[in-house]
């Protein structure tokens, strides 16, 4: 039996292969890239007052945006943030200036998605993703499968050092994955618990899932959503 403190440290900081963290970095950032591009049109329309549309969406900042005193961006600010965010995402996925790129991605994604949620209904599906982004700059996420790692290997070769001396694992490589796992569990548990406390079992009527499936447009969506009881 290990002491509680030892078990706690082992849970968060056990030796973890650097390759696993690198794959986590790439997959997470690809998901963020998709999400950022997906909401870009909506953000641009909100920044311009939604021209050509009958109704403009009201600004109702989520708590984090309100606490930081962030106000709605204008069209120029939106385009500047979007361009810097896309460049930072590409750099972070490729692993160039990895920690700096991941830091910029975390800050700008928080801003970009926070603006979207402040103009519409807030959802909980981005919570774990945001916590994952916040952990990447604080971990050796660029030590494998990155341009930074390749440059480091070339430098070692030129200085007559063996690349076999490079570590294969790190005690700081696993905690981003643990943090993301914990955030998913906490986020979805309290989302479900809140629905039960405020609406009882009446919210489990299938309409939310039906709406989500129709919006996603998957290959089975049209077939499964024809009957709300199935949902």
Digit-coded pLDDT (tens) for 12-50: 999 999 999 999 999 999 999 999 998 898 899 888 888
Q: Which residue has the tokens 């796992």?
A: 181
Euclidean distance between CA atoms 181 and 29, whole angstroms:
16
Residue 133 and residue 28 in contact, taking contact as beta carbons nearer than 8 Å: yes
- Confidence check: pLDDT of 138 > 80: yes
Record the pTM: 0.85
User: Residue 216's closest CA among 38, 29, 57?
Assistant: 38
Residue 65 and residue 12 in contact, taking contact as beta carbons nearer than 8 Å: no
| DSSP letters spanning 82-149 | HHHHHHHHHHHHHTSSHHHHHHHHHHHHHHHHHHHHHTS---STTHHHHHHHHHGGGTTTTSSSSHHH
**Region 82-93 average pLDDT:** 98
Residue 61 half-sphere exposure toward CB, CA atoms < 13 A: 14
């Amino acid at each position: 039996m290990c002491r509680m403190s030892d078990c706690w440290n082992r849970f968060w900081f056990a030796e973890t292969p650097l390759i696993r963290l690198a794959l986590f970095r790439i997959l997470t950032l690809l998901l963020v890239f998709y999400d950022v591009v997906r909401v870009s049109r909506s953000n641009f329309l909100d920044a311009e007052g939604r021209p050509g549309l009958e109704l403009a969406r009201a600004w109702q900042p989520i708590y984090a945006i309100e606490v930081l005193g962030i106000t709605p961006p204008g069209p120029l600010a939106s385009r500047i943030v979007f361009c810097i965010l896309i460049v930072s995402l590409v750099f972070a996925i490729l692993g160039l200036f990895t920690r700096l790129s991941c830091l910029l991605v975390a800050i700008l994604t928080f801003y970009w998605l926070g603006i979207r949620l402040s103009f519409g209904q807030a959802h909980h599906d981005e919570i774990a993703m945001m916590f994952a982004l916040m952990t990447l700059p604080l971990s050796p996420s660029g030590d494998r499968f990155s341009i930074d790692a390749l440059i480091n290997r070339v430098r070692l070769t030129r200085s007559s050092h063996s690349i076999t001396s490079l570590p294969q694992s790190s005690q700081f490589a696993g905690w981003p994955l643990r943090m993301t796992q914990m955030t998913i569990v906490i986020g979805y548990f309290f989302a479900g618990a809140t629905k039960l406390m405020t609406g009882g079992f009446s919210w489990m009527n299938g309409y939310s899932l039906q709406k989500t499936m129709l919006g996603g447009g998957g290959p089975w969506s049209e077939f499964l959503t024809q009957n709300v009881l199935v949902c």
